[in-house]
A and B are shown apart, each in its own frame.
Chain A
Amino acid sequence: MTALTEFFERFLGNGLAADYCLAIWETVYITLLGTAIAYIFGMVLGVILYGTAQGSIFSNKIVNSVLGIIINIFRSVPFIILLILTQPVAKLIVRTKLGNPAFIVYLSIAAIPFVARMVESSLKEVDAGVIEAAQAMGCNNFQLIFKVLIPEAKPSLLTGAAIAFTTILGYTPMTYLIGGGGLGNMAIRFGIYRFNADIMYVSSILLILIVQIFQEGFTILGNMTDRRRRNNNR
């Protein structure tokens, strides 16, 4: 990541256009990395939430309610406070509390509980009859999760990922608090605090474009892979 960032700086010089390009790049990679890390942990938690629910494949009331409460706590703490509370975690993982790498840590921590709930709700959409049929075939829980639940929920998981990406993108302007970069940071620092409205507008329009591209991309991918739609299949 840093190599690419340096490449942008060297290649584009120090003009405003270069600042925009760098900011776009930073926004995209912060959001993508944050979403990806959040999904690695969020998927696991989502599957546990789904599986431990009452009447589900390995129902466990205690695990389910404890996990549910922890997730709700993390979801109710405002991001700006979570960012300060979890500084030791960033220090531990990326050896700094400041800048983009630290911000990705804060972003992931804030997004994991959200992603877990998204994954849980996608898995709940899988037809109970299909799960039952798989169990009747002698499927164990591991096979049930990886060969039935996740493949069957794939279109819904992709739609969920689009929502998660946009939500996580919405947190990125907070980088200005800890000396990170990105379009939101630019809009706040140059646009608002230095009264340069043009930069604010341009940054915002670029953010809108990024959201559009990723939202559409995920949605198209989700629909394309959904075999429940007749016209997708030849």
Chain B
Amino acid sequence: MIEIQNLSKIFNSKSGEVVAIDGINCTVHDGEIFGIIGLSGAGKSTLVRCINLLERPTKGKVIIDGTDITGVSAKELRRIRKNIGMIFQGFNLLAQRNVLENVMFPLRLVGKSRAAAIKKAKELIEIVGLSDRINNYPSQLSGGQKQRVAIARALATDPKYLLCDEATSALDPTTTTQILELLKRINSERGVTVIVITHEMRVIEQICDRVAVLDKSHIVELGKVSEVFANPQSDMAKELILPKNGSVPTSLARKAIRITFDGRSSFEPVISNMILECRCTVNILYADTKDIGGKAFGQMLLQLPEDENSCLRIRSFLESRQISYTEEAV
């Protein structure tokens, strides 16, 4: 369990003090995938780098399995770091070593014999699916392959935690999906607690259990991904999750309602049922629904029919099914 208590980091630059993170409190439970999302400059990278003390916090505590690591000796810190793997946006592989040697590197650091390190490294390379590239150098690999090597390397010492600092931000969407699936598999099969830093909502929705939304150095929202998605409270979360209204042609939406899907089974055809039951037509102006763990989350903007009776029927239908909606006045 990682407990972050009242954590602040202030950078001193020539133009004065820059507050990167301010009074952060959160707890990452064992076995979960915890996401931290925010825009550039929100402080998310600083926050994750404070967890293994690559960045020394100005104030506050980072308690890992009961030990406040801000107070331990350099030697003890190195021991603790071997229990926290980390992968980066820029992969940071050793350019002069091949795939096998890169994965062997942390094993040799902890004093494993060459033979034992090779054996373990080969197992890990197999897990990330790069067995055929074992003798290649990083310059010969694609971005996705490099990140796989980095993941294998981060897992070499069997860490309990894995920190991912914008690990998919330099990758294309398909590769991102593959890397995220790999992370999810590592979490479920090896029980590694994963902390993901990202600015992409889809990373959170694809793999995370809980999410913290970071805005201007503070956590503005924290909760289960399904709850934050269904009912975002903070402006930043709304901005990241909800579709922009600007994309809807407002001239059409004279009388419209916005339906929020909050995790009802995605197998239930809500709109079809509504049309059949209310015997009136609606016009879908905008829809953005996502299937997270078999449940539908998202927003739908519907243009209602002109006559009031139909509108009333639709509203009572939605209320009877406990689907939340808001009137969109135009």
Contacts and interface: CB of A to CB of B under 8 A. Distances in A.
B95 A127 contact: yes
Interface string B144-178: 00000010010001000001000000000000000
A187 to B, nearest CB: 41
A227 B98 contact: yes
B92 A132 contact: yes
A208 to B, nearest CB: 33
Interface stretch (B24-32, B74-82, B118-126): B74-82
Main secondary structure of the interface of A (DSSP, over half): helix
Contact of A152 (B78, B94, B109): B94
B97 A151 contact: yes
B92 A137 contact: no
Given A136-B52, A137-B81, A233-B136, A147 B105 contact: yes
Interface residues of B, number: 34
Nearest to B81: A138
A134 B106 CA distance: 8
Contact of B90 (A129, A134, A143, A154): A129
Contact of A151 (B81, B94, B98, B138): B94
A230 B109 contact: no
A148 B93 CA distance: 11
Interface string A82-98: 00000000000000000
B94 A137 contact: no
B47 interface: no
A33 B80 CA distance: 45
A44 interface: no
Contact of A229 (B94, B110, B139): B139
A222 to B, nearest CB: 12
19 contacts: A129-B90, A130-B93, A132-B92, A135-B54, A136-B52, A136-B81, A137-B82, A137-B109, A138-B109, A138-B110, A147-B108, A151-B97, A152-B96, A227-B97, A227-B137, A227-B139, A230-B139, A233-B98, A233-B139
Interface of B: 52, 54, 78-82, 84-86, 88, 90, 92-98, 105-106, 108-110, 135-140, 150, 153, 157, 163
Given A136-B52, A138-B109, 9 more contacts: A127-B95, A132-B54, A136-B81, A136-B86, A138-B79, A138-B106, A147-B109, A228-B137, A233-B137
